[in-house]
Every structure is written in structure tokens, then in C-alpha cells.
Structure 1
Amino acid sequence: MNLNLHLVRIFYHVVESQSFSRAAEKLFISQPAVSKAIKELENQLDLVLIERGLVGVKRRRAIKLTSDGEALFEHARAIFSLERVAIDDLQSRVELKQGRLAVGASSTIASYWIADYVTRFHQQYPGIDVRIEVGNTESMWQALIDCHIDLALVEGGVVDPRIVKEVWQDEELVVITHPDASFSCEDLVNQQWLVREQGSGTYLVTEKMLERLAIHPRDRLTIASNEGIARMVACGAGVAILPLCIVQDLVSLKQLKIFKVPQFKTLSRSLFLLTLKDRPVTKLQKSFIDCLKTSSIYG
């Protein structure tokens, strides 16, 4: 059995308004069309829904339902009540009054970059639930592919035809040492290098810089935390390359020293915004991306 919701809607309005003519006015159709629709619905269901007859002292036609009609009316009331809830919900999403957004961010971006943007977005759209997933670049790339997040902000190193990658920000990097360390650029090869784990954007940029300097460190220590690396360098454990935003407080406190590399006037890397190529961008996602782009890099 199929239920024709167009005919059910007409039936619902007839019963609710207790009038064929008022239902016709509300639905912008003729009264004969309403009568025809009710009869067609009864034929389709093979049920009598409305008792025909005259009642009342003024002998006006009233709407009296059979038991089957009463059952259908209750179902119709539930159906169209849910429809109104759905319309209200979707309308509020169109107007960004509610919704959920999952944003992936590599650890540096989550700790030092994204807070201002999320705060500004929440102030503009307080009904939106923004969830931040934190991990290294590789894990955020995989989460995006698996549709566990809507977009990602990472430190690079992603080459995948399924992903659209665009530059979001540029981040300054520095070589750091203990404040009392004293050695030349040539001696960098003899130092213990503290590096992030493979899959991290910081690991990739460290490897690229060492390659450009033709440095092949004899000793390495892998630590899965930029802050952990900074603290260990401050304790004299070795040298490292980290974003300036992570170490500038420790440098100001003279717990770390920035080591100048003559071959590089400045060190920097790009931070990227990732989206799925074949996944439509929702209005909510676009609004958040627009918020992310309200910075000097986009003019």
C-alpha cells in the first residue's frame, strides 16, 4: 500500500478546519477538487474515512470521521507535525542558528592559531557547535578522507587527488638551542636533534631544512610534542626547529636562544586549509572558511 501524502494533506486540512470550503481556501484549490481528493484517497486506501450526512440544528454539513478516518487523522497530524519540525530545523540551519561543525587541526594550529577564529565565529553564530579534533597532519588528512571532520588546518605534507589544499597562513620557524650553547653552523651536524614523529608537519619541515643544509645528524630524539621539544632544548638536550609562536615566551625568558642560520634569512612554512574535492561545501562550512580567511594573507 502506498500513502499519497498530497491527498493526506488535503484530508488533514478538511478535518482540522471542519470544512471542505475552508480547506479549499487554505490550500488554494477549488472545493470540488477537495471533495475529489478525499474520494480518491478513500478509493486508494479502500477505507471510508468520512461519514456523510447532515447534522446540527441549522442542518450544516459537518465533518465526522469513521474510526479509520480518526486513525488516519492521528497519523497525518504526527506526519505534518514532524514536517513542521523538520522545516524549522532546516530553516535554522540555513540561517546558521544551529548546526555542528567538525574542524581538524594539527597540534600547533590548535594551540596557537585557531582560538581567535573559533571565538569570533562563535560570537557571530552562537548556536553552532564547533568541535576541534587535534592530531598530526597525517591523522587529520585521514580523518578528512574518512569524513570524520568537515575541513582541516594542517602544516603541509599532504598530496592527495581527493583533497583540495590551499595556503591559509605562513608561519615563521626558528632553530632553537639552550641559552648557553655555543657552536657554529658547521657544528649543527654534531648536535642531538629533537624532532617530531613522522607524519607531523614539523617533522617534514625539519627534514627539508636539514637536507638543504646538507646536515645528517648523528643523534636524534623523537618527541611527539612541540612543547615537549622546546622544554627539553631549554634543559640542554639538543637543538630543534620549531614555530616561533611556540618558543617566543621561553626566548623572552632567556630559557631558549634562537640560533641564526646564515644560509636562511628567514625560515617559514605554509599552513594549509584542506577540504574534500568531491564533497559539497555547506553554507555552514563556507561561513567558517570565510571567517578563517579574514586575515592579511587574503588581503
Structure 2
Amino acid sequence: MTTFSARRGGALGRELRGAYAFIERNANLIKRYWAWELVWLAYSIVNALSITFIGRASGEITGATIAPEQVNTFILFLLVGTLVWHYLSVVFDLISESIQWERWEGTIEYTFMAPISRLTHLFGQAAFAVLFAVLHTAIILAVVAAFFRIDLTRADFGAMLVVLIAGSTSFIGLGMFAAILPLLSPEKGLQMTNIIKAMVLLVSGVYYPISVLPEWLQPLAYISPATYMLDGIRAALLEGAGIEALWSGRILPLLLTGLLTIPTGLMAFMRAERYAKATGRLKRNG
């Protein structure tokens, strides 16, 4: 029994070290392309400021007298949407684009021949995506906070964190599915992942309530995990809603989506990998 437990512990340790190797490798890639990452960060900051300034200009745009409290609420609504969407986009992009990065670096064949499970490979990619997204979003928040008065005295940060974790699992699974597209289509797969992200942006209420969508589009909002994540984080930060209040309507759907999409996304990716190897699609640069 002791020997079996030791072997299991040793195997788990090897898998964790393997996952960390992908985190370290991706961190080194970020360092290599630091100039591009700096440009992307600057663009993201300007984009967040531009969207949030719409809230401050609401009175001038509409020509109506709007109370300062309502303006602040509008600003926070847009700011939360901007930051959450940026976080989700980074997580989604880093996972879905991982195959294309392998092609660009010329390492795709080595990665797929490495004596490491695909679960460990994708877990390492997902862990790095979450860590990098948190860092990226935190920097943007720090800069935006210097321009706007952000009142979060009513916020329940514990509930917000739980929603963030639950929502991250959903987008990790979605990113695994999207990563199949560059694997199967070296020429157009990456562009197809952008279509998925654009559709999620349209229907999820990032910058507006989903109630303003046409009636035929609104059902799609309830399929998107981003809808539940945005609603949950807004409720936690703006209204002080706790975990109990958010559990059944926001957190549970996100957890169920993650439990469904991660294993099915992993299995689908492994089947696509076998097909790509059999048809010689790994090394093509398109």
C-alpha cells in the first residue's frame, strides 16, 4: 500500500513538474517578445480607458442631467465588463492559439512527441493563461483606477473571486475546443477562433444588458458562460451579493459548464491530434 501510494505521488509530482515546464516555457516566450507584449498592454489600457470614458460622457451624449451616483454606476458597469472581457479574452487566446504558437516556434512536433500526457500539456497551458491574464488585467485596473473614482465599498470580493474561478474553468474548456481549429486547419483555424470570441462578445452583455438584444439573439446569451460570469461579478462588486445569493443562478452554471467542457474538450483535442498526425497537418505553416 505504501509502495503504491509512493508511486502515485511520484507520478503526480512528475505530471506537475511537466505542467510547470509549459508555464516556464510560455513565460520565456513572453520575455522573448516583450516589445510586442508591451504594445499589446498599452493598447489594452487605452481601450479600457476609451470604453470607460463613455460612462463619464453619458450626460453630454444624451443631453440629460444625470446624477453623479448614476454616472458612477455606469462607469463601473462598463469598467467591470471591460476588465472581465479582457481577462477572458487573454485566457481564451492563450489556450486557443497555443497550437499556432507551436508552429511559429517550430516546436509542434517535439511537443506532441514528448513523453507527457496531453492533460498535463493543456493544464500547463491553461495555468499560464490564467496567471498571465490576472497579471495583465491587474495592471490595466491599476492604470484605470488613476483616472476614475472607483467606489467598491459594497463589494463582496470573496464572492467575486469564486465567480472568477468558476468562470475561468468554463473558458478553459471553451479554449480547448477552439484550439482544435488551428490544429485541423493550419491556414484558417486561428481566424476561426476569433469568430467564436466575437460571437461570445456580442451576446454576453459585456458592455450592455442582454435585454437590449433582439429577442432571437437573447437565448444565445444563456448559452455563453461569459454571461453568467459578468452578471455574477457585477452583482458581487456593485451590489455586494454574496456566494449564497450567486450560487444557483451564476456560480453553479459556470461550474457545470467547466465540468462538461474541460473533459469533452480534452477528448476532442486528443482525437483531433490523432487525425492531424495521420493526415500530416502538424508541421504545415500555411
What interval of TM-score do these two structures reach, taking the shorter chain for normalisation?
Answer: under 0.3
Structure ranking higher on relative contact order (CA contacts 8 Å, 6+ apart): 2
Larger % of strand: which? 1
Larger % of helix: which? 2
Relative to the length of structure 1, the TM-score reads 0.22
